[in-house]
């Protein structure tokens, strides 16, 4: 296309655009309905009209100028009125909601909710703890009550015995025996201590020991030594309130029967159960064969000799502070284990004892009469009476014995008594009437026993001692 023709076509295009614009700028007031689409459309037309006004202003003609001014004013008024009308129509249908700007924003109420939840959990736990504590306290109260009841009976009995002895002693002529006053004072001190602290087992044991000793003493001329009644301060080992305090230092601790209480690790690395050994507790002791020996001493025309063995077993059940209260004991010796140092003599001895038919020599204690009870030193002296069976023949035998507690808390029992072999049907050895053994021999015991576990039968001796 030549340039001149292009210019003409451009002019025609501009003219066409101008005519279209003029037609578009005609204002039709009938379209001014107050709705959004009409307002928009009307606004478009107003803008077009404003554009047309600009065009018209470029064009000559006062009428056109006036018309455009009027149209512009009307357009502005219509635009403003349309906006106001649109706002009035839609204001009641619009709800303003302020939403969080993101999902991860912190809820100001969340920490409070968590705190409330934790408080609720704590309250639940606290209620559970309170219930458990109440239950445990109830069980503890029941346990203490039962324990107190169990202790009250022997203490009451001991108190009655002591008071009976006191009454008996007061009835005797004053000054009949020099030891009477001392004994009376000692017993009165014991009674006073007993009344002052009825829950103290050690004081009760001392008073009861005094009473038991009194029972065993047949006459005032053979006084029973009750040495150093323990002062109340010495009773902490037996006092329930003190045991718990003393437990961490290795003292005795409350212990359920048959259920050793665990404690700290000892130097052996093991946690050793507390050993609440008490001298005034009825308990079973098992003889430790490897640390025990029984035997006899015999005299003959030419030389004296002894026979001994550690082949034995035995048990003793007693309250050492009250050994006269229904003690039981049984010791069984394997007669084949007796040795005298000479094989020929041992053979002859077994033949005389008829060990093939009567292997065991047994002694069963039936009673104990205390002569001396020292609770502080944990020593007892007295006469143990029992039935001794040798070669199938049973005779009563009374043996003076001494009992004590050693450093390993073992019960050490020593005693001896004479007996005649002929009483038990044992032939007295005699060789040609020249070498004769005396009929009377002295039998002796040197035993060590360990406390058997509570509620269990004695176990066989172990390897370690």
Residues that bind other proteins (CB under 8 A): 250, 258, 260, 264-270, 272-273, 275, 277, 290-293, 295, 297, 301-306, 308, 310, 340-342, 407-410, 412, 414, 416, 431-432, 434-435, 444, 446, 448, 450-451, 453-456, 459, 462-465
By beta-carbon proximity to other proteins, the closer residue of 3 and 463 is 463
Beta-bridged to residue 379, according to DSSP, are 374, 404
Q: Which backbone phi and psi does 91 adopt, to 5 degrees?
A: -65, -30
Q: Measured from the CB of residue 222, what is the shortest distance to other proteins in angstroms?
A: 24
SS3 122: helix
Q: Measured from the CB of residue 129, what is the shortest distance to other proteins in angstroms?
A: 27
By beta-carbon proximity to other proteins, the closer residue of 208 and 298 is 298
Q: Measured from the CB of residue 331, what is the shortest distance to other proteins in angstroms?
A: 15
Q: Measured from the CB of residue 413, what is the shortest distance to other proteins in angstroms?
A: 10
Helices (DSSP H) in 282-434: which residue ranges?
343-353
Distance CA 187, CA 163 (A): 9
For residue 390, what is the enclosing H or E element? strand 379-390
Q: Measured from the CB of residue 407, what is the shortest distance to other proteins in angstroms?
A: 6
By beta-carbon proximity to other proteins, the closer residue of 184 and 446 is 446
* 319 alpha-carbon distance from chain centroid: 28
By beta-carbon proximity to other proteins, the closer residue of 36 and 266 is 266
Q: Measured from the CB of residue 220, what is the shortest distance to other proteins in angstroms?
A: 31
Q: Measured from the CB of residue 254, what is the shortest distance to other proteins in angstroms?
A: 16
Distance CA 303, CA 437 (A): 9
By beta-carbon proximity to other proteins, the closer residue of 322 and 450 is 450
Q: Which backbone phi and psi does 296 adopt, to 5 degrees?
A: -145, 155
Give Cα separations from 399 to 6, 199, 390, 407 (angstroms).
156, 35, 16, 25
Which is it for strands 360-374 and 225-226: parallel, antiparallel or unpaired? parallel
By beta-carbon proximity to other proteins, the closer residue of 272 and 387 is 272
Q: Measured from the CB of residue 132, what is the shortest distance to other proteins in angstroms?
A: 27
By beta-carbon proximity to other proteins, the closer residue of 177 and 439 is 439
SS3 118: helix
For residue 76, what is the enclosing H or E element? helix 62-90
End-to-end CA distance of the chain: 133
Query: How far is it between the farthest Cα atoms of the chain?
Result: 185
By beta-carbon proximity to other proteins, the closer residue of 64 and 417 is 417
Q: Decide: 416 and 442 in contact? Cβ < 8 Å.
A: yes
Residue with tokens 């070498």: 435
Residue with tokens 């001190």: 189
């Amino acid at each position: 296309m030549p340039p001149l023709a292009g210019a003409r076509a451009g002019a025609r295009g501009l003219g066409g655009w101008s005519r279209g614009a003029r037609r578009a700028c005609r204002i039709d007031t009938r379209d001014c309905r107050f709705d959004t689409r009409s307002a928009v459309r009307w606004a478009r037309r107003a803008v077009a009209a404003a554009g047309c006004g600009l065009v018209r202003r470029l064009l000559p003609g006062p009428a056109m100028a006036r018309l455009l001014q009027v149209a512009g004013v009307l357009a502005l008024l219509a635009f403003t009125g349309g906006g106001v009308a649109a706002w009035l129509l839609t204001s009641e249908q619009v709800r303003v909601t302020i939403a969080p700007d993101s999902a991860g924003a912190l809820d100001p109420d969340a920490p409070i909710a968590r705190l409330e939840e934790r408080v609720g959990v704590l309250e639940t736990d606290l209620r559970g703890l309170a219930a458990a504590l109440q239950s445990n306290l109830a069980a503890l109260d029941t346990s203490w009550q039962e324990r107190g009841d169990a202790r009250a009976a022997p203490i009451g009995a001991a108190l009655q015995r002591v008071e009976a002895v006191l009454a008996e002693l007061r009835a005797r002529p004053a000054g009949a025996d020099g030891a009477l006053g001392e004994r009376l004072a000692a017993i009165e001190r014991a009674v006073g201590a007993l009344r002052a602290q009825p829950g103290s087992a050690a004081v009760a044991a001392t008073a009861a020991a005094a009473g038991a000793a009194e029972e065993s003493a047949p006459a005032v001329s053979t006084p029973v030594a009750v040495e150093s009644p323990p002062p109340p301060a010495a009773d902490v080992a037996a006092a329930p309130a003190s045991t718990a305090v003393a437990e961490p230092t290795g003292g005795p601790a409350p212990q359920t029967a048959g259920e050793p209480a665990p404690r700290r690790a000892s130097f052996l690395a093991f946690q050793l159960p507390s050993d609440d050994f008490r001298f005034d507790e009825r308990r079973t002791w098992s003889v430790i064969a490897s640390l025990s020996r029984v035997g006899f001493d015999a005299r003959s025309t030419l030389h004296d000799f002894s026979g001994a063995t550690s082949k034995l077993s035995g048990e003793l059940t007693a309250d050492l502070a009250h050994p006269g209260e229904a003690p039981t004991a049984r010791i069984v010796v394997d007669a084949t284990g007796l040795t005298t140092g000479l094989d020929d003599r041992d053979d002859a001895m077994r033949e005389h004892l008829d060990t093939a038919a009567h292997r065991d020599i047994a002694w069963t204690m039936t009673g104990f009469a205390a002569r001396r009870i020292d609770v502080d030193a944990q020593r007892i002296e007295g006469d143990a009476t029992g039935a001794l069976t040798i070669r199938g023949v049973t005779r009563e035998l009374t043996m003076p014995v001494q009992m004590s507690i050693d450093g390993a808390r073992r019960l050490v029992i020593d005693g001896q008594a004479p007996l005649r072999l002929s009483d038990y049907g044992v032939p007295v050895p005699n060789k040609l009437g020249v070498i004769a053994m005396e009929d009377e021999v002295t039998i002796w015991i040197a035993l060590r026993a360990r406390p058997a576990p509570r509620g269990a039968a004695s176990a066989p001796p172990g390897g370690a001692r």
